[in-house]
Amino acid sequence: MEALFSLVQRHNKVFRRDKTQVFFSLLSIIIVIILYAVFLQKMQVDAIEQVMKATPQLITLVNEWLVAGLLSMIAVSTTLAAFGIMVRDYESKATADFLTAPISRATIQFSHVLNAFFTGCIFSFLALLGCEIFLVATGGEWLSAGDFMQVVGLLMLSVLLASVFNLFLTLFVQTQNAFSTLSTIVGTALGFLCGVYVPIGALPSFAQQLIMYFPISHTTVLLRQYFMEHSLVKVFQNSPPSALEAYQIQYGLHYQLYGTTLSTMASFIVIVSTIILLTLLSVLIYKRKHR
Partner 1 sequence: MKINGYTLDAKQDNAHIRQSIGVVFQQSLLDERLTVRENILHRGRAYRLSKTQLAENYQFVSKYLHLADIEQQKYGTLSGGQKRRADITRTLIHRPAILFLDEPATGLDPQTRQFVWQTIKQLQEETNMTVFLTTHYMEEATVANEVVVLKQGQIIAQGTPDALKTQYAHDQMALVFHQREEGLQWLVAQGLSYTEKLNIFSIRVKSTLHALALLQQAESLLASFEVVKGTMDDVFIHIMEGDVA
| Residue 35 lies near partner 1 (rule: CB under 8 A) | no
Which segment (53-61, 86-94, 187-195, 244-252) binds partner 1 by CB under 8 A? 86-94
Query: CA distances (Å), 221 to each of 72, 201, 229, in order?
Result: 9, 13, 12
- Does 10 bind partner 1 (CB under 8 A)? Our answer is yes
Phi, psi of 45 (to 5 degrees): -60, -45
Least distance (Å) between residue 164 CB and partner 1: 25
CA dist 263 and 271 (Å) reads 13
CA-CA distances (angstroms) from residue 228 to 17, 41, 64?
36, 15, 6
CA 276 remoteness from chain centre: 18
Residue closer to partner 1 by CB (options 22, 283) is: 22
Candidate segments 25-33, 101-109, 113-121, 129-137, binder of partner 1 by CB under 8 A? 101-109
Q: How far is the CB of 99 from partner 1 (least distance, A)?
A: 8
Angle between helices 205-213 and 176-193 (to 10 degrees): 120
Question: Residue 191: CB partners within 8 Å, gap ≥ 6?
Answer: 28, 31, 32, 69, 73, 197
Binding of partner 1 at residue 93 (CB under 8 A)? yes
110 binds partner 1 (CB under 8 A): no
Rule CB under 8 A: say whether 18 interacts with partner 1.
yes
Residue 261 binding partner 1, by CB under 8 A: no
Q: Give 20 or 50: the residue with its C-beta nearer to partner 1.
A: 20
- Find the helix or strand (DSSP H, E) in which 256 lies: strand 256-257
**By CB under 8 A, what part of segment 153-212 binds partner 1?**
none
- Judged by beta carbon, residue 53 or residue 93, the one nearer partner 1 is 93
- Of the pair 7, 161, the CB lying nearest partner 1 is at 7
For partner 1, the closer CB: 7 or 143: 7
Query: Any alpha helices (H) in the chain, and if so which ranges?
Result: 2-17, 19-25, 27-35, 41-49, 56-92, 94-99, 105-137, 145-170, 176-193, 205-213, 217-235, 241-250, 264-289
Closer CB to partner 1, 5 or 39, in the complex: 5
List residues near partner 1 by CB under 8 A: 2-3, 5-7, 9-10, 13-14, 17-18, 92-94, 96-103
